[in-house]
Structure 1
Amino acid sequence: MPNEGSYDTALERSNRVHEDLKVNPGKYTMLTGDRPTGRLHLGHYFGTLVDRVRLQEMGVHTNVIIADYQVITDRDTTKAIQDNVFNMVVDYLACGIDPEKTMIFTHSAVPEENQLMLPFLSLVSEAELERNPTVKAEQEASGHELTGLLLTYPVHQACDILFCKGNIVPVGRDQLPHIEVTNKIARRFNKRYGKVFPEVTGLLTSTPLLPGLDGRKMSKSYGNAISISMTAEETAKLIKKAKTDSERNITFDPESRPEVSALLTTAGICSGRDPRELADEIGMGGGGQLKKVVTEAVNGRFAEIRERREKIVQDPDYIHDIIADGNRRANAIAHETLCEVREAMGMVY
């Protein structure tokens, strides 16, 4: 029997759920979300947004949290947060998230969801929190000291998932430790106080990782990310500035030629083609021809999304209404769940 916490076990469970979703989408509740630390980029689009829309259209109960409280896990300011939240919702809608089918809400506006932190923190040990590899990686990447909020980040995510009885969360392999923490909390609560929470499955995505323009992980902080909100001209300018190398013949070789291969991967994912084929076609066309192919692929893929975005952004009241409605719905769910938790714990007086 494979180790319960192993990748193979997680993959097996994920595959089973992927199959069941085709016939029983209505029995699943999805929770996923983003930290509003800047603009959403192509990595977010291909990594999660496409999947969210697919699950939404299948008939899954879909919920998207804008994790504004989690911005301060490793940052000292919330200066641009209102603008970031507003633009995040615009991006969601432009990419196909439908507020009639998907609940979009913000952390800070749902106090009863956050109140679950108190009983949940009593269900995990300090050692379990300290050895979470994802938290360590996030702290190192930020260069920020380990705050109490960052240390308890996985517990906060458990609150996000469990307050709405979420039982699937689309994740990459590196996020599986968070799902493990959520399941530990759910199991321990149910065992100690009575069954309230479901078992959660990390729904592993098959989407290949989209690298940044320089071959590193796509990240706003590296300046290597193409934002969904960029214009065609801004996109062309950013791609034009991307580094390649001195070799004229274009080949796909992620190990030896990370920058060239990252550009080919971007063009391949956006056009639905094999990056090796694209490399063969460009051949001796060099970096200039490569960048032209990438620019055309990205701008072609995102033309309709950007057109929709332009229309949506003209109506700020509509965006604020969507957030307010999502927060109202989330508060009703959180209140119901917290009442169940208090009742299970014998704290109704």
Structure 2
Amino acid sequence: MTSEPLQTDTRERDAIDALSDSTSEASLRRSVERSEQIWDDLAEHPDRYRMLTGDRPTGHLHLGHYFGSLRNRVALQDQGVDTWVLIADYQVITDRDTVDSIQERVFSLLTDYLAVGIDPARTTIFAHSQVPSLNQLVLPFLSLVTDSELRRNPTVKAEQEATGGRPMTGLMLTYPVHQAADILFCKANVVPVGKDQLPHLEQTRVVARRFDERYGRAGEGTTPVFPAPDALLSEVPNLLGTDGQKMSKSRGNVIELRMSADETARAIKKAVTDADRHITYDPTGRPEVSNLVLLASLTTGRDPEAIAEEIGDGGSGTLKRVVTEAVNEHLAPVRARRAELEADPAELRRVLAEGNAHANEVAEATLDEVREAMQMVYA
């Protein structure tokens, strides 16, 4: 097989350009429609799906993570979906100079995962840096993308704009390819993402298609080495931080899952509200007050309008008391389980070691397939 220049067909170029610029309503609509089809099929045939998702251990998980993704992971696991959760420790160094406290944060993530109900008997939990064959896939995948495609990726563009003239690392530039390796090494066919993350997934789909087209496994009647994964979109509650700004670990405006009941009460007591004593649920006109009402709704399962009406003229003091009680009651079993896990670090190490071992088995088998397709088997 002779080497050919990398070609980008019109479909791929349009998909990447449209999604990276967030201008293609048609592309977004197709992604939404496909996601809805998957949700419907998943309810009947969960065994058809392997899902990969994960987090960077740059801090401790908080209520935004819990309501935005963790609960959904547990629900999919419980439905019978083959679930894989990545602790992306290598990705910490894409935009950071140090890895201070990374070991503590990796085990903190793992503790939170198990405390909220992720079951290592049904979900593979593994760390990026412990799966060499996964990371080796990055090399052939890099040959399948162009420099301009990578620079058009929204995350890469945002990082480039935020550097203030500081050179961007090669790892940051190739971040979308590393993500492709994360997804494709285990042949995940669904990935939970928000709409703003669709360009990353489209880049992964392009890598999967190009690999099979270039190395001869995409012909009629053949099975491709890599499935092209689909986005699994879901509505994520728009929770703000306690200061009324975007929830962010770096802002210090979050309620972490590891906080005690008293620490949670103090954080909510300092939450920003407004001068109107009458409590209403109006996310547009009263975002800070409505954010607290939403938090009470999410933790009790009650309608936010009903909660606001019930508090009425009780003011922000009553609102914060209601929210504090709701959050602490909801998180009580999570905190109890977390305390048990923290008291048994050997169990945490065992769970991660088993997950890493399983991920390595799968990654090595995938790498063998890749070498065979590339005619790089020499023994």
Relative to the length of structure 1, the TM-score reads 0.95
Partner of 1:206 in structure 2?
Answer: 235
Shift of 1:34: 0.4
The equivalent position to 2:194 in structure 1, one of 172, 186, 196, is: 172
Shift of 1:128: 1.1
- The alignment partner of 2:145 has SS state of coil
- The alignment partner of 2:187 has SS state of coil
Partner of 1:244 in structure 2?
Answer: 273
Aligned-pair identity (%): 60
Partner of 2:204 in structure 1?
Answer: 182
Structure 1 position 94 matched with structure 2 position 123? no
The equivalent position to 2:60 in structure 1, one of 39, 50, 58, is: 39
Partner of 2:288 in structure 1?
Answer: 259
Shift of 1:49: 0.9
Partner of 1:336 in structure 2?
Answer: 365
Structure 1 position 325 matched with structure 2 position 354? yes
Partner of 1:119 in structure 2?
Answer: 140
Q: Answer whether contact 1:211 1:265 (CA < 8 A) is retained.
A: no
Q: Answer whether contact 2:50 2:187 (CA < 8 A) is retained.
A: yes
What letter corresponds to residue 11 of structure 1 in structure 2?
Answer: V
- The alignment partner of 1:22 has SS state of helix
Shift of 1:237: 0.5
What letter corresponds to residue 136 of structure 2 in structure 1?
Answer: Q
Q: Answer whether contact 1:165 1:198 (CA < 8 A) is retained.
A: yes
Partner of 2:326 in structure 1?
Answer: 297
Q: Answer whether contact 1:165 1:197 (CA < 8 A) is retained.
A: yes
- The alignment partner of 1:104 has SS state of strand
Unaligned ranges ≥5, structure 1: none
What letter corresponds to residue 232 of structure 1 in structure 2?
Answer: A
What letter corresponds to residue 23 of structure 1 in structure 2?
Answer: E
Partner of 1:64 in structure 2?
Answer: 85
Following the alignment from structure 2 to structure 1, what is the Cα–Cα distance between the partners of residues 163 and 264?
26
Following the alignment from structure 1 to structure 2, what is the Cα–Cα distance between the partners of residues 95 and 276?
27
What letter corresponds to residue 257 of structure 2 in structure 1?
Answer: I
Following the alignment from structure 1 to structure 2, what is the Cα–Cα distance between the partners of residues 309 and 289?
29
What letter corresponds to residue 56 of structure 1 in structure 2?
Answer: Q
Shift of 1:242: 1.2
Following the alignment from structure 2 to structure 1, what is the Cα–Cα distance between the partners of residues 283 and 157?
26
Distance 1:138 1:270, change over 3 A: farther
Following the alignment from structure 1 to structure 2, what is the Cα–Cα distance between the partners of residues 313 and 298?
21
The equivalent position to 2:95 in structure 1, one of 74, 99, 103, is: 74
Shift of 1:327: 0.9
Q: Deviations over 1:285-313 (max 9, x none)?
A: 11111111111111111111111111111
The equivalent position to 2:301 in structure 1, one of 261, 272, 296, is: 272
Shift of 1:63: 0.6
- The alignment partner of 1:226 has SS state of coil
Following the alignment from structure 1 to structure 2, what is the Cα–Cα distance between the partners of residues 276 and 174?
29
Partner of 2:149 in structure 1?
Answer: 128
Q: Deviations over 1:18-38 (max 9, x none)?
A: 111112111211111000011
Which segment is superposed worse, 183-192 or 284-293?
284-293
Shift of 1:247: 2.1
Q: Answer whether contact 1:30 1:62 (CA < 8 A) is retained.
A: yes
Partner of 2:34 in structure 1?
Answer: 13
Q: Deviations over 1:235-255 (max 9, x none)?
A: 000111112122222222223
Q: Deviations over 1:69-124 (max 9, x none)?
A: 00111111111101001111111011111111111110001111001111111111
The equivalent position to 1:30 in structure 2, one of 41, 45, 51, is: 51
Partner of 1:154 in structure 2?
Answer: 176
Shift of 1:127: 1.2
Following the alignment from structure 1 to structure 2, what is the Cα–Cα distance between the partners of residues 82 and 17?
36
Unaligned ranges ≥5, structure 2: 1-13, 20-26, 218-223
Q: Which has the larger radius of gyration?
A: 2
Q: Answer whether contact 2:159 2:168 (CA < 8 A) is retained.
A: no
Which segment is superposed worse, 102-111 or 268-277?
268-277
Following the alignment from structure 1 to structure 2, what is the Cα–Cα distance between the partners of residues 46 and 153?
26
Which segment is superposed worse, 202-211 or 134-143?
134-143
Which segment is superposed worse, 137-146 or 176-185?
137-146
Following the alignment from structure 2 to structure 1, what is the Cα–Cα distance between the partners of residues 292 and 138?
42
Shift of 1:137: 3.8
Following the alignment from structure 1 to structure 2, what is the Cα–Cα distance between the partners of residues 305 and 138?
35
Following the alignment from structure 1 to structure 2, what is the Cα–Cα distance between the partners of residues 312 and 12?
40
Q: Answer whether contact 1:35 1:66 (CA < 8 A) is retained.
A: yes
Which segment is superposed worse, 11-20 or 258-267?
258-267
Q: Answer whether contact 1:61 1:102 (CA < 8 A) is retained.
A: yes
Q: Answer whether contact 1:74 1:139 (CA < 8 A) is retained.
A: no
Relative to the length of structure 2, the TM-score reads 0.88
Which segment is superposed worse, 266-275 or 131-140?
131-140
Following the alignment from structure 1 to structure 2, what is the Cα–Cα distance between the partners of residues 47 and 21?
20
